[in-house]
């Protein structure tokens, strides 16, 4: 009998990733319940629960896709709930829980440290709590600086109270790569396309949040480039290359497009090009009408969305390091190298395999969701809209060509699940691969077979 009770107790134990997945789900549910209350909507009526779940999932998964306009539909109570959900989702609910533990003076157990390790995507428990403290201080400090910069523009426009609130909300949304805005009528920040303070501040917050907390800890502790790890160097270099090349291509694709940049000054075109390169990785703000962009501009946006930000950051996507590992693997094979090489360092084959699996699974999810949406949604909607929406949801970006508000109930459920999978899924994949170690099946080697390739 005692043995049975022990077995029952063991069965009830959850792995760190299961706790993370369940934690995100609980936060989403609580957020949806709060948003469904009459006090949350401007009309004072109960909001349909499917829209509340969709909005809560989008906020916690720091995506930004919305079926109801954030600026006009929700009251300040509802907007505050959304902002808190964004902060919780961006930091990770375990980081928020750690903050609560600090205030309560509660000791953090080993199991909680293991969950934090998975949430932060780091390899060691050593110095983890100290790192969480740094992350919290760093986050609130950067958001504070962003809010002050926003305030210089919003207070003169909206007044002191509303201006401060808008400043804080957009600082949190931008740093967490969420893409929620309060401008109303689904316009995002298109009215500020020529405002260098707004555009550059949002871009900087997105970039900082998308680099990853681990990288910023290293930058803080290092005294020069030589002290940085290979991971941090790859993240920084790849981010710079993606932003610069993306901005140049966006400028070329859209500068003569009458629907987006043609009527802008050179300053406006440059700002909008930079913003259109930064935001898809993976924030969801836009300063030009997305549905009027060229096909080349939209396709480039899809690519940038799929790549996303960097590991351990507030951004989504397959991550910059994953894309670089696969790209350099191709380069190494073309050069006749046996191993993948990056910056004169050899990359372990298991890292290459993980990168390949994450990318293929990500493509599989995007393709599957695109196909399902093309069946469930009206047939007169262009295929490009479905691919754009699916990629945006999986990569937790929040950009849309206007499809989100037209989704059927089935479509809303599909996109909600995709956002959740995009936020939680990569952690599950990494853990599943990491646990594949010992066992008889691992020692079995079958006879070598040959397949023709290419």
**Tell me: the pLDDT tens digits for 89-101?**
877 655 555 555 5
Read off the pLDDT band of 203 (50, 70, 90). Answer: very high
Between 166 and 312, whose confidence is greater?
Answer: 166
| Residue listed under structure tokens 């809303």 | 412
Peptide bond connecting 237 to the previous residue in cis, omega within 30 degrees of 0: no
Give the CA distances from residue 343 to residues 123, 185, 231, 328, in Å, rounded to whole numbers and listed in that order.
21, 47, 10, 10
Between 328 and 12, whose confidence is greater?
Answer: 328
Q: Quote the pLDDT of residue 229.
A: 87
List 74's β-bridge partners, or say none.
41
Question: Can you give the residue ranges of every domain in the chain?
Answer: 12-433
Decide: 75 and 38 in contact? Cβ < 8 Å: no
pLDDT mean over 407-436: 76
In this predicted structure, the answer to whether residue 71 has a pLDDT above a threshold of 60 is yes
Of 283-292, 297-306, 430-439, which range is least confident? 430-439
Name the nearest CA neighbour of 70 among 235, 185, 199: 185
Whole-model pTM: value is 0.85
Read off the pLDDT band of 6 (50, 70, 90). Answer: very low
């Amino acid at each position: 009998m005692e043995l049975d009770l022990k077995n029952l107790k063991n069965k009830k134990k959850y792995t760190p990733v299961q706790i993370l997945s369940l934690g995100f789900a609980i936060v989403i549910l609580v957020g949806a319940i709060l948003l469904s209350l009459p006090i949350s909507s401007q009309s004072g009526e109960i909001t349909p629960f499917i829209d509340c779940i969709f909005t809560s999932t989008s906020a916690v998964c720091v995506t930004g896709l919305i079926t109801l306009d954030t600026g006009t539909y929700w009251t300040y109570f509802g907007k505050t709930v959304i902002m808190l959900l964004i902060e919780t989702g961006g930091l990770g609910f375990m980081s928020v829980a750690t903050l609560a533990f600090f205030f309560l003076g509660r000791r953090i157990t080993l199991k909680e440290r293991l969950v934090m390790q998975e949430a932060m995507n780091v390899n060691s428990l050593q110095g983890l709590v100290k790192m969480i403290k740094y992350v919290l201080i760093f986050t609130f400090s950067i958001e504070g600086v962003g809010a002050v910069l926003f305030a210089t523009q919003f207070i003169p426009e909206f007044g002191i109270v509303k201006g401060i609130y808008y400043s804080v909300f957009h600082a949190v949304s931008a740093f967490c790569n969420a893409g929620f805005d309060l401008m109303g009528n689904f316009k995002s920040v298109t009215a500020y396309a020529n405002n260098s303070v707004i555009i550059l501040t949002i871009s900087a917050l997105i970039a900082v949040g998308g680099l990853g907390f681990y990288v910023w800890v290293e930058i803080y502790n290092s005294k020069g480039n030589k002290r940085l790890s290979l991971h941090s160097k790859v993240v920084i270099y790849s981010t710079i290359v993606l932003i610069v090349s993306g901005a140049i291509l966006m400028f070329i694709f859209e500068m003569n497009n009458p629907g987006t940049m043609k009527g802008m000054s050179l300053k406006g075109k440059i700002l909008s090009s930079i913003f259109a390169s930064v935001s898809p990785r993976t924030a969801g703000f836009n300063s030009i009408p997305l549905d009027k962009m060229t096909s080349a501009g939209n396709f480039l946006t899809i690519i940038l969305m799929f790549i996303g930000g960097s590991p351990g950051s507030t951004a989504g996507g397959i991550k910059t390091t994953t894309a670089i590992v696969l790209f350099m693997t191709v380069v190494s094979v073309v050069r006749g190298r046996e191993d993948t090489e990056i910056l004169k360092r050899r990359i372990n084959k298991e890292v290459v395999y993980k990168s390949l699996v994450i990318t293929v699974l990500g493509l599989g999810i995007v393709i599957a969701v695109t196909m399902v949406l093309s069946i469930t949604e009206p047939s007169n909607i262009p295929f490009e809209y479905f691919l754009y929406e699916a990629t945006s949801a999986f990569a937790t970006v929040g950009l849309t060509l206007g499809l989100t508000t037209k989704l059927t109930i089935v479509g809303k459920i599909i996109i909600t699940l995709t956002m959740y999978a995009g936020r939680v899924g990569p952690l599950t994949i990494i853990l599943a691969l990491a646990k594949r170690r010992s066992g008889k099946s691992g020692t079995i080697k079958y006879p070598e077979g040959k397949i023709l390739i290419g």
